[in-house]
Chain A
Amino acid sequence: MNNIKTNALILDGSREDDVEARVARESIMTELEKAGIKSSCYVLRDEVVAPCIGCFKCWTKTPGVCALNDVQRNIDADMAKSDMLVLITPVTFGGYSSNLKKGMDRLIPILLPFFKKINGETHHPIRRGKGWDVFGVGTVPEKDDGKEQLFKELLERNSMNMHANRKASCVVLKGSSETDVRNTIASELKKVIA
């Protein structure tokens, strides 16, 4: 299957004081550039993105376009042009931060409303023929195997709904050296872009 990528969308749901998340983001952008992949990056704490209101107008009135007119429309348009989705977040109760989730909740225009049985379970088909590969980075203040496991499983689950061919994730411990963060990112990102 053709796995050549040309564009990536990066959604950063980290807090301003999350140094490791910033290093991870910069490292991802560097690695993508080296691989010839263009990226659009949104640091969601700096963007005014209204929360999804569950109106489903992006499915029934303006298919593919969110009814709320803010920067998320640009994010969704960049998603449409991308082959890959990158998620950066503090691991929050084992899941994503509210900052990241506000952007993710409003990605649903990429899906069709229909229910389809895929691998024995009901899912939404996507609005275009090709899915998105997914790479996720979580930061944690201290080692917590349970939360890290849940974070990785959640990313797998998202990848299934993004109809991804490839996915990878890693968890970075706060206080890690910049070199360690960059090495971890470079090694894990290869699983998705190589």
Chain B
Amino acid sequence: MSGKALLVVGSPRTKSSNSHFIGKYLIEKIGERGWSVDEEFAYQAIKNQDVMTRILKKIDDSDLVILVFPLYVDSLPSQMIKFLENVNEQRKGKGGPQPRLVAICQSGFPESNHCDFAVRISQFFARDSGFDWAGGLSIGGGSAVHGVDLNELGGMARNLRKALELTAASLVNGGDVPVEAKELTNKGVLAPWMLRLIVNRSWKKQCKVNGVDIRAIFND
């Protein structure tokens, strides 16, 4: 079985984002199984109508569309929502074959469940916009990816890589995101207490370098 998969990255940091590195790993695994794969960036589409038109055409030609984005205030980033609103406007009520849709949300929080709302929103988007929902993944500790290829992250990203490999294997065979993959991402990248410790030290260090008081109150 072969097909076409399109990755749409919904981070303002585009290519250097953790979301991109996670999505890239997944579509590479899909590509290794004989599928044609491509990637686009939602933030570029919002700024440029030609890019939006190009992505809409690619969506029409795809068998599988994968959205990957960071968690912003319990949901998708505003520009990713705008992108989805635009896609919905063009696709609602449209006949013909329905591409399948997968949503992957990653956040810096150690627990993956923070991302569940964004995945559920993506599911309603799929229903309203002529896609077949193929499932979603909530990923905690995404900041640990730190703009690095997942292959270079060693044991820390073992569960994440395995989850994405299982997802790729299932999707190319017409299946959904497997339960085993969700269970692996639910385990997180690091133990919550350890991630909290590392992250808190990192913020303090950055503020110290910048010579600012991290606890400054509002400038009103």
Q: Which residues of A contact B (CB under 8 A)?
A: 51-54, 59-65, 76-77, 80-81, 92-98, 101-102, 104-105, 107-110, 112-117, 121-123, 127-128, 146-147, 150, 153-154, 157-158, 161
User: In the assembled complex, how far is the CB of residue A36 from the closest CB belonging to chain B, in whole angstroms?
Assistant: 21
Chain B neighbourhood of A97, CB < 8 A: 81, 85
User: In the assembled complex, how far is the CB of residue A79 from the closest CB belonging to chain B, in whole angstroms?
Assistant: 8
Chain A neighbourhood of B185, CB < 8 A: none
Interface assignment of B183: CB less than 8 Å from any CB of chain A = no
- CA–CA, A64 to B207, complex, Å? 13
In contact, B75 and A80 (Cβ under 8 angstroms): no
- CA–CA, A77 to B218, complex, Å? 7
Chain B at the A interface: mostly helix, strand, loop or mixed? helix
Chain A at the B interface: mostly helix, strand, loop or mixed? mixed
Q: Which residues of B contact A (CB under 8 A)?
A: 11-13, 43, 70, 72-79, 81-82, 84-85, 88, 109-111, 113-114, 117-118, 120-122, 124-125, 128, 192, 195-196, 199-200, 203, 206-207, 210, 212-220
- CA–CA, A51 to B14, complex, Å? 14
B196 partner, pick from A59, A93, A117, A147, beta carbons under 8 A: A117
In contact, A147 and B77 (Cβ under 8 angstroms): no
Q: Contacts A101-B78, A115-B199 hold; do A161 and B73 have CB atoms under 8 A apart? A: yes
Q: Contacts A62-B212, A105-B78, A115-B199 hold; do A127 and B85 have CB atoms under 8 A apart? A: no
User: In the assembled complex, how far is the CB of residue A125 from the closest CB belonging to chain B, in whole angstroms?
Assistant: 9
In contact, B214 and A112 (Cβ under 8 angstroms): yes
- CA–CA, A52 to B82, complex, Å? 13
Chain B neighbourhood of A93, CB < 8 A: 81, 84, 88, 121-122, 124-125, 128
In contact, B78 and A51 (Cβ under 8 angstroms): yes
